[in-house]
Amino acid sequence: MRLASLSMYVDPQPLMDATADLWRYISDYLRDEAGLSGVPAELDRSLTYHEAWLHPDLILAQTCGYPYAKRLRGSVRLVATPIYDLPGCDGPLMRSFIIVHESASVRSLADLFGLRAAVNDHESNSGSNFFRAEIAPLAEGRRFFGDVIETGGHAASITALAEGRADVAAIDCVTFGNIRRFAPQRLAGLRILAETTSGPGLPFITSSGSSDGEVAQLRNALQAAINDPSLASVRETLALSGFVTLSDAEYEPLLALERQAALLGYRRIG
């Protein structure tokens, strides 16, 4: 049996339920329309998304664009990049919102100097790479924040701000939009200070051992999920309006942001 793991946007709960429904549709399509064998009926919830990305039996997962460009390409195959209909998204491109406490006196990124930052993961494009790109010109090669905590997820970074354990975080626009739609109380007392640059969003991937035919059928299944009227409510919950196929070259700008920060002497959020 192959492995399917879609765990990037599953909070709040309506997203987890809709993602499960999306996969059941894809699974049925791959078995019944494409004739693929070993397709699981349900998503795997036992592995972390990091573990799923390089699983040898992976049939479908969603990864972050920065680790894809930095270390995964060549070890997995790109399937498609989703288009989300949320503020901050532009087709397959997305950005992050840099958020602070509503009552904070900061009015610009420069005012963040010496404050406490929350980072979901230093390998995250939206939580770290985009954030670093905005801070690097201001840091002038020195430590910029007074402290940095790694929370493990965007929702956890929001909680860290709400609880007063951090002063600022960069939250991807999809997570921010979903929480604002389904759990707005979690954003109470917080505001957007700035928006980051944008770049290609979180791609769907499959194992490097997947054939060209299997990749084509996965793309067909995703497109069918976009077109089928029976999935309208699922798409609405996920704010999902389409998929596009991007190339490795279109993810290269994410590494260019890393290189530019390094040239400025700011290799890591700190």
Residue-wise pLDDT tens digits, 130-146: 999 999 999 999 999 99
49 pLDDT band, cuts 50/70/90, is confident
Q: Provide CATH code, domain 3-88+201-248.
A: 3.40.190.10
Question: Residue 2, SS3?
Answer: coil
Q: What is the pLDDT of residues 60-76, one digit of tens each?
A: 999 999 999 999 999 99
What is the residue extent of each domain of the chain? Answer: 3-88+201-248, 94-198+255-263
Q: At what angle do helices 173-182 and 13-32 cross, to 10 degrees?
A: 110
Place of tokens 């999902």: 240
Q: Which CATH class is domain 94-198+255-263?
A: alpha beta
Q: Where are the alpha helices (DSSP H) in the chain?
A: 13-32, 49-53, 65-67, 130-139, 154-162, 173-182, 212-227, 232-238, 248-263
E strands along 63-203, which residues?
Answer: 76-84, 89-90, 93-101, 116-119, 147-150, 168-172, 190-200
Confidence of residue 96 (pLDDT cuts 50, 70, 90): very high
Is the Cα dihedral 181, 186, 187, 188 positive or negative? Answer: positive
Rounded Cα distance, 226 and 114, in Å:
46
pLDDT tens digits, one per residue of 223-260: 999 999 999 999 999 999 999 999 999 999 999 999 99
Q: What is the dihedral of CA 71, 75, 79, 81, to 10 degrees?
A: 0
- Closest CA relative to residue 186, chosen from 208, 169, 209, 207: 169
Asked if the domains 3-88+201-248 and 94-198+255-263 are classified in one and the same CATH topology, the answer is yes
Per-residue pLDDT, averaged over 170-175, amounts to: 98
pLDDT score, position 230: 98
This model's pTM is above 0.85: yes
